[in-house]
Structure 1
């Protein structure tokens, strides 16, 4: 048995925080985590969460900064595990860390090592909190403290690029992006990768995957080849390959 809840952050933080979330598990489970284009700050109030294959897990009694994912991750959770997370909007975590976000791609790092304002005492203050209201308020305080320790500025070009890619549902080329923003590909890639965590092509693939997955879920009877063509995939094989990497399953298995 497990539960998952999302909480709304303070209004003053909603421009950078997508949501707070709480995941409780009372039995051993294997979970599949899919890319969502976001970065997270995760508090582990239970046992170690082990990752399958090469990805890093979440140590017990820890706060981890989790980078943007370009492929699915399988994790094993033990009974009585509680994870509490902050899901940042794309790129919003960048000014709150001391390292460029591409250093976190497909992995995680102890947040105290790279996030000014986070210490062992931060975890200790939160471990005994039970109610949603208490946790939400405590997380608000954590993020406000992190913001006070940072310069609070994010690259506007990188953020504008993510919006441009999302508006086109990921169906866009890097050449289109450089033409529309009037900046060299090399400079755009450097700024985008540092702020978002991946290059522009990889981010577009994530956005296209998420949109296509939601479309298949919404229209399960729709021909997959038509969906593939409509969303910029060359053919059914291209769609299948992307889903296998991103989700670990076939589009027909949704």
Structure 2
């Protein structure tokens, strides 16, 4: 399959518990797609391999490999680009710790060269430049990441168990529940989350809840969906509470996601004419 303006791919099975997906984009066609599809706010982080050209973000210019953070919106705001050929790797929350020793606090809300994270990119970039077929590039990414991934430590295993627990809930879990599940003190819990994810456990829970509510609203085809009920079902105090979180995380109110339904009466009337 030849490269088009935008494509995604699932990584090899051995990487799927760590890598959510790969994406690539021809920046010359960026206006034809939603930027939110590239770097949604899900609490995970990722790498960008700028094969050609450069990208300018709110947090700086990125070229020839960089780290981006997808836990907040600030580092996802594109300001400018130079016809760049970009490939992205989206990690699950906390998973980047298996590929680099750098703490997540070093790259949250910013971009840093992958070389500063101890990741050499020259060889993989040269290989990616030699082909413009997406599936061949996906295979290259699989082999590269499999050569980088480290065996999990006991701390990694506990963290992934806690992250899975958080993401399965419809509302943030109290620190006491996570401490009981991990055997860690609250101080140790928060230190590990900031270093491994770049967020507090409560912040990750807040993001997870907002995404569950977001998917609930998007799945509904009814313009009359009761957003107050959605808010209460997902542990918000009220509709206003959910709206504040959506604006903070996604930059939009939940009401903007509701799709209008055509009037049945109007449809019938046009059919009679």
1:142, CA displacement in angstroms? 1.4
Contact map agreement 2:124 2:140 (CA 8 A) in 1: no
TM-score where L is the length of structure 1: 0.86
Report the secondary structure of 2:22's partner residue.
strand
- 1: CA distance, partners of 2:191 / 2:179: 13
- Of Structure 1 and Structure 2, the greater helix share is in 2
Aligned to 2:102, what secondary structure does the other structure show?
Answer: coil
Cα RMSD (Å): 2.3
Q: Does 1:67 align with 2:73?
A: no
1:193-204 alignment runs, 5 A limit: 193-204=194-205
Number of residues paired by the alignment?
A: 246
Q: Give the distance between the partners of 1:191 and 1:107, measured in 2 at CA.
A: 20
Q: Which has the higher strand share?
A: 1
| Equivalent residues in 2 for 1:108-119, closer than 5 Å | 108-116=111-119, 118-119=120-121
Q: Which residue of the partner structure matches residue 168 of structure 2?
A: 167
Deviation per residue, 1:135-166 (Å, 9 max, x gap): 0111122112222xx45546112111111111
Task: Confirm or deny: 8 A CA contact 1:20 1:85 kept in the other structure.
Answer: yes
1:56 equivalent to 2:60? Answer: yes
Provide the secondary structure at the position in 2 that maps to 1:50: strand
Alignment of 1:138 with 2:137, yes or no, is no
User: Which residue of 2 is the match for residue 237 of structure 1?
Assistant: 240
The higher-RCO structure (CA 8 Å, 6+ apart) is: 1
Aligned pair in 2 of structure 1 residues 39, 199: CA closer, same or farther (>3 Å)? Answer: same
Q: Which runs of 5+ in 1 are unaligned?
A: none
1:205 paired to 2:206: yes
Deviating beyond 4 angstroms after TM superposition, the runs of 4 or more aligned structure 1 residues are none
Residue 38 of structure 2 is aligned to residue 41 of structure 1? no
Could you tell me the TM-score, scaled by structure 2's length?
Answer: 0.81
1:180 CA drift (Å): 4.0
- Are the equivalent residues in 1 in contact too, given 2:162–2:181 (CA < 8 A)? no
Q: Quick check: which has more Rg, 1 or 2?
A: 2
User: 1:26 aligned to 25, 28, 51, which one?
Assistant: 28
Which sits farther off after the overlay, 154-163 or 179-188?
A: 179-188
Q: 1:28 to 1:151 in 2, by over 3 A?
A: closer
Contact 1:178 1:188 in 2 (8 A): yes
Q: CA contact under 8 A between 1:6 and 1:20: conserved in structure 2?
A: yes
Q: Within 5 Å, which residues of 2 pair with 1:1-12?
A: 3-12=5-14
- Choose the corresponding residue for 2:128, options 108, 126, 129: 126
- Aligned 8 A contact 1:91 1:195 in 2: yes
